Amino acid sequence: MGSPKWAWGIGLGLAALVLGTALSFPLSAYNFRAIAPQKAYRSNEPTRAAFEQLLRAHGIRTAVSFRGTRRSSALPPVAERLGVRFVSLPLRDRTLPSRHQVLELLGLLEAAEPPLLLLDRFGAAQAGLAAAFFGIVRLGQDFATAGRALSLRQGSLPYGPQTEVTRAFGLYGAWLDRHGLPATRATLRRWATEGYMPYGYGARIHPVRLPERARPRERLRVTVDAENVSDRTWPKRTDPASAIKLGLRVAAAGAPSTGSLRGDLLPADVAPGGTARLSIDFAAPAVPGRYELSLDLVEEGKAWFSDWGFPPVTLLLQVD
């Protein structure tokens, strides 16, 4: 039995309303919203005249543009003339911010003199992410309350390619759930420092079996427990050309490594918070001396996990 005509009418009306609202953002003069009156506001980047009006009307002390200095070149002189601090922190809406960018944003939100004005192209994506972080950092909001800054009602687009930058807030929420922690200023900074992985994977390596001394060319085995500290499952792959595996780099103490070795592939998928026991067999260097063993995971064809911000474990081996 088909749906009644009135139901179809309501459905089409709601779809038109949502689409019309979404399309209105880039067409409107500015998408201005109060995050917290007298503390923080957000908007798409206005004209010079409108920018000056906003600064004067709301007593803005710090203006932050996520579009970059070149695209916002008309605004800094206005801010300087009115004694307002203007900060340029370029963020792209179609990619996740880097760890460095998130930490820079948090530092800015923590220290900036209010009231703040957050600006991006539409006042929807980068400004929305900053508004959500502001809710936690400066307003003490819980995760759900702060996340409302990313809703359509608050001027953000919940879907589409221009919302990729806002997915960082969801990654923070997933990390909180996994660790059983509340959203606070401290956990937000801890996540940004230790747990945020915009792309790729992260690992914490716990040594299990390690040689400390060896004879030249002696066959050795190193065993570790590799813990998945990222928000993504490590996939088991049988093709060595794309698999995740344990890697080892050996170098004379204080010197760069000259090559790398590979060990076990993942025996199974490893979910966030899970571990995998991995080993690697290798021969001790032929020349006696003191050597550094650097243990890391590698996703073949892409990168070492340390390239994504998680340092390897470095150990010393005496060969004599």
**Predicted TM-score of the model (pTM):** 0.64
Instruction: Note the pLDDT tens digit of each residue in 115-170.
Output: 999 999 888 899 999 999 999 999 999 999 999 999 988 888 766 666 788 989 99
Work out the percent of the chain whose per-residue pLDDT is above 70. Answer: 88
Whole-number pLDDT of residue 69 = 66
Find the radius of gyration of the CA atoms of the chain.
25
CA–CA gap between residue 281 and residue 36 (Å, rounded): 59
Q: Are 124 and 156 in contact (CB under 8 A)?
A: yes
Q: Work out the widest C-alpha separation in the chain, in whole angstroms.
A: 87
Which of 131-135, 205-209, 299-303, 315-319 has maximum average pLDDT? 131-135
pLDDT at residue 231 tops 80 = no
Domains and their CATH numbers in the chain: 5-195 (3.90.190.10), 203-319 (2.60.40.10)
For residue 166, the one-letter residue type is T
CB 124 within 8 A of CB 157: yes
**pLDDT tens-digit profile of 73-114?**
889 999 999 999 999 999 988 888 888 899 999 999 999 999
Residue 278's Cβ-count burial label (10 Å; 0-12, 13-18, 19+) is buried
Between CA 262 and CA 85 the distance in angstroms is 52
